Amino acid sequence: MSKSIENDDAKCRLDKWLWSARFFKTRSLATAAIETGKVHVDGDRVKPAKEVHIGQVIHIRNRDFEIEVNVLALSNIRRGSPEAALLYTETQASISKREHAKVTGEGEHAIRERGTGRPTKRQQRDIKKFTGGMGFEP
């Protein structure tokens, strides 16, 4: 580990750690995720001011990703991505789960091409013309 990470404070809030480890762009986003139950520490739902300790397991569920990490170091300062990556390691179970989701396309159920969902206004007119006015009803 770099010398700059080792000399940080021995105490670190969970929301600050998530922000400094670059899981969230702002501290307020990290706080909101914690308060809505998207972050668990050692399997328990916690508050944003919870003190993080080295060796704890943090489970983070977000719209874009789901990850479980082990805390390796503490930091109250947001640094570059290479230094932020030194604060944690992803668990083996989390890595395999992400790989499985990538192969099966689990997280892509909400992605669709334009026009494949609800009919557009033009398609609604065509449906009404084809069915004689007995088409799509909003």
* Domains of the chain by start residue, with CATH: 3-108 (3.10.290.10)
pLDDT bracket for residue 136 (50, 70, 90): low
What is the dihedral sign for C-alpha 23, 26, 29, 33?
positive
Q: Where does the chain show beta strands of DSSP type E?
A: 39-41, 44-45, 57-61, 66-71, 88-90
pLDDT bracket for residue 30 (50, 70, 90): very high
Q: What is the mean pLDDT of the chain?
A: 85
Percent of the chain topping pLDDT 90: 56
Structure token digits, residue 70: 């082990």
Using CA atoms, how far apart are residues 48 and 35, in angstroms rounded to an integer? 7
More confident residue, 4 or 48: 48
Whether the per-residue pLDDT at 11 is higher than 60: the answer is yes
